[in-house]
């Protein structure tokens, strides 16, 4: 089986810091190579893979802002489409745009939908409902008008997020600095509990950060450490008393939530989107409705058995199970394609 894994060209794969789509394209690619599958990763030329690397864009447009995002996206996707004949299947992690090529090539395409940036993109997915294959990353993120082959949870590479039995004394917010992620609520929760809060993540809404977040940072009780690259990400998630995830939108998955629990760190999350699928009440954390309930849950975080939390996450977000399910999906698609010839 020859698989083309299409990652984005926003940043390198795997990402140095933020980049859940790129991280999962990498995780799946590595798992396929481990299974002996002939894998080519289409990504920026600075990317890394145990398989083959192909691409035409040197550096991601989020890393080199002198580039036009639409232009490099067009060059990247068309480069793969022109080589599609060399592969048995294309695994798309690039959202809706590659679907517009899917009926122009003979190689079947499977798309992992990493969430919907807007209802405005749904018509593209609807157009290719009958001719493509969609994977949802949570049941909560399924759109009622689309047909899905399966729901496959993100799998975590165990070595990247080892178990930590004894945390340090801080709460953690790890995510985009954006109103959707409820960064301001995380600060209010920590203050209500009189606990130190460490925040990490890209500043996605500069006005929000300047007006609502920055004035509250004192580098003592409220600390912002920036984007947090892989080594720091692992350290922060593993050593926190709890991860605060006070979201104001329907989270498609929440990679940092799974990663925290993998380390044994319980999660206190607003009960929206995929959170009921990820967080198991009293085992890996608590689902709450507001700041007051979150602050009360912090007082119960120590009651969570961190080893049990880790074991739950290791099974729920198993790297091997994720690869098994994708290989099964590929096999189903290829068998169906052969039958239609």
Bridge partners, residue 270, by sequence: 288
Identical fold, 2-155+318-339 and 158-316: yes
Residue 338 pLDDT greater than 70, yes or no: yes
Structure confidence at residue 16 (pLDDT)? 92
Residue 244 pLDDT greater than 80, yes or no: yes
Neighbouring C-alpha atoms within 13 Å toward the C-beta of 117 = 6
pTM: 0.95
Structure confidence at residue 27 (pLDDT)? 97
Structure confidence at residue 341 (pLDDT)? 59
Q: Looking at residues 86-115, what average pLDDT do you find? A: 97
* Domain 158-316 CATH (choose: 3.40.50.2300, 2.40.160.60, 3.40.50.2000, 3.30.40.10): 3.40.50.2000
Q: Tens digits of per-residue pLDDT, 122-176?
A: 999 999 999 999 999 999 999 999 999 999 999 999 999 999 999 999 999 999 9
At 277, phi and psi to the nearest 5?
A: -80, -25
Domain regions of the chain by residue span: 2-155+318-339, 158-316
Close Cβ partners of 1 (under 8 Å, ≥ 6 residues apart): 37, 38, 88, 89, 330, 334
Residue 246 pLDDT greater than 90, yes or no: yes
Q: What does the alpha-carbon distance between residue 324 and residue 28 come to, in Å, rounded to a whole number? A: 10
CATH architecture of 2-155+318-339: 3-Layer(aba) Sandwich (3.40)
Residue 100 pLDDT greater than 90, yes or no: yes
Structure confidence at residue 130 (pLDDT)? 94
């Amino acid at each position: 089986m020859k698989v083309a894994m299409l990652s984005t060209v926003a940043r390198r794969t795997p990402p140095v810091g933020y980049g859940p789509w790129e991280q999962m394209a990498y995780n799946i690619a590595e798992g396929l190579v481990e299974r002996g599958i002939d894998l080519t990763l289409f990504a920026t030329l600075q990317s890394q893979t145990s398989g083959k690397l192909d691409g035409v864009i040197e550096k991601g447009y989020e890393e080199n802002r002198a580039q036009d995002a639409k232009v490099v996206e067009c060059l990247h996707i068309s480069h793969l489409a022109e080589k599609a004949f060399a592969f048995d299947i294309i695994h798309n992690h690039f959202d809706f745009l590659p679907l517009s090529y899917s009926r122009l090539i003979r190689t079947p395409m499977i798309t992992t939908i990493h969430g919907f940036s807007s209802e405005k993109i749904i018509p593209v997915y609807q157009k290719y409902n009958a001719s493509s294959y969609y994977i949802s990353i949570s049941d909560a993120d399924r759109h009622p008008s689309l047909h899905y082959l399966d729901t496959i949870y993100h799998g975590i590479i165990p070595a990247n997020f080892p178990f930590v039995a004894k945390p340090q004394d801080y709460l953690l917010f790890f995510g985009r600095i954006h109103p959707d992620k409820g960064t301001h609520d995380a600060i209010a929760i920590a203050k209500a509990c009189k606990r130190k809060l460490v925040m990490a993540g890209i500043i996605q809404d500069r006005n929000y950060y300047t007006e609502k977040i920055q004035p509250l940072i004192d580098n003592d009780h409220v600390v912002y450490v920036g984007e947090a690259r892989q080594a720091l990400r692992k350290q922060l998630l593993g050593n926190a008393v709890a991860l605060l995830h006070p979201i104001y939108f329907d989270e498609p998955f929440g990679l940092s939530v799974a990663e925290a629990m993998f380390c044994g760190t319980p999660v206190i999350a607003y009960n929206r989107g995929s959170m009921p699928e990820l967080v198991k009440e009293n085992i890996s954390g608590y689902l709450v409705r507001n700041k007051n309930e979150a602050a009360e849950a912090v007082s119960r975080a120590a009651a969570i058995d961190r080893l049990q939390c880790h074991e739950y996450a290791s099974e729920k977000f198993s790297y091997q199970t994720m690869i098994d399910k994708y290989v099964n999906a590929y096999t189903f698609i290829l068998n169906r394609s052969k039958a239609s010839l």
